[in-house]
Amino acid sequence: MTPSRRQFAHTLAAATGALALGSASAQTSQTQATSRLAPIYPKRLKAGDTIGLVSPAAATYEREPVDIAIESLQALGFKVKQSPYLRGRYGHFGGTDAQRAESINSMFADDSVDGILAMTGGSGCNRIVDKLDYALIRKHPKFFGGYSDLTSLVNAIQVQTGLVTFHCPMGASEWNEFSTSHFRSVVMEGQAALLRNPSDVKQRGDNLVQTQDRIRTLRGGRARGPLIGGNLAVLTSLAGSAYWPDFRGAILFIEEVNEYIYRVDRMLSQLRLAGALQQLSGVVIGKFTKCTPGEGYGTLTLDEVFDDYFLPLNIPVFSGAMIGHIKLKFTVPVGGEVEIDADAGSIQLLRPAVL
């Protein structure tokens, strides 16, 4: 075979292989595109139920925060079962990877436990996301909640089992009237709740206009879909894994804390490059607390970053929702069907998130 023919044959073989690979990839993508599980709704929590308190992320170094968390849950009417590793520590984690995973698996397996709540966030949940027994969880569905670093677990459990989980206050959170009332309405009373920022000016210092917790509409309109999301950094860290949410037709909600703006930009770029943003039906931007320019010359503002990534999508988007590292927070069902109104800045649950 002449060099030119040999080169042509190699080129043809490579092209054929690429087409075959592309076809295989397309088949894989098609398979993944039909993999969203039907939602499983946990039973609503009620007074007298037992909450399993676990520490799947950072360690709690002092005794009093744990005591306060237990007393807060008891004040809500619950009994509290402490994980054997609740006060554990391995480095800055609340126990070894095996211990932290076992604390969740055992709470799901325990029929005397009605729901599971994380003590606190921090970091470490990604280390155990592949150590949970998802078949067990699917057989014993129950309330599971937390936020911040728990973003990886609430999304992973929802993706792997279909169980609706909750981005909500944790044991160590401030259980004020606002947060408690939203938790009760969604998780305990089973309301198809309307989540909307407070707008009573007089409650906020008699200003002529509202100056706190304002809603900004990036693009108006309404959209429906299952809720996915949470902390932006943790969410993007799941990209490429089996625990990455299905973004097709979903409503994405995001929040962040203590990240420079250029890092927020990079995280949103990752979502765009992964093809996630282009599949959404709507976006809810929560609080980006202490997300500053940092050092260096010049920066885009958060508003400009959000405009750059979300306006080209031509879908409803609003920012400022009471979701994130803040004192007053919504309880948000991950995997729950909702409708957002970007003009009103609201999230309407289309059905109760619990049975």
Task: Kindly tell me if the per-residue pLDDT of 18 is higher than 70.
Answer: no
Helix axes 302-310, 261-273, angle to 10 degrees: 10
Let me know: does 227 contact 335? Beta carbons within 8 Å. yes
* Residue 210 structure tokens: 């509202």
Instruction: Give pTM, 2 decimals.
Output: 0.89
Q: Is the pLDDT reported for residue 9 higher than 90?
A: no
Query: Percent of the chain having pLDDT more than 90?
Result: 85
Interval 134-188: pLDDT, tens: 999 999 999 999 999 999 999 999 999 999 999 999 999 999 999 999 999 999 9
Known catalytic residues are: 148, 255, 325
For residue 64, pLDDT beyond 90: yes
pLDDT of amino acid 25: 36
Per-residue pLDDT at 32: 42
Segment holding 346, helix H or strand E = strand 346-349
Give mean pLDDT, residues 107-122: 98
Tell me the pairing of strands 282-289 and 317-319. Answer: parallel
pLDDT band at 209 (very low <50, low <70, confident <90, very high): confident
Pairing status of strand 332-334 against strand 165-167: antiparallel
Q: Sketch out the chain's domains with CATH numbers.
A: 50-175 (3.40.50.10740), 194-349 (3.50.30.60)
CB distance 152 to 238 below 8 Å: yes
Residue 124: which region, alpha, beta or left (left: phi > 0; alpha: psi -120 to 50)? left
Residue scoring higher pLDDT (13 or 291): 291
Q: Which two tokens stand for residue 260?
A: 């420079």
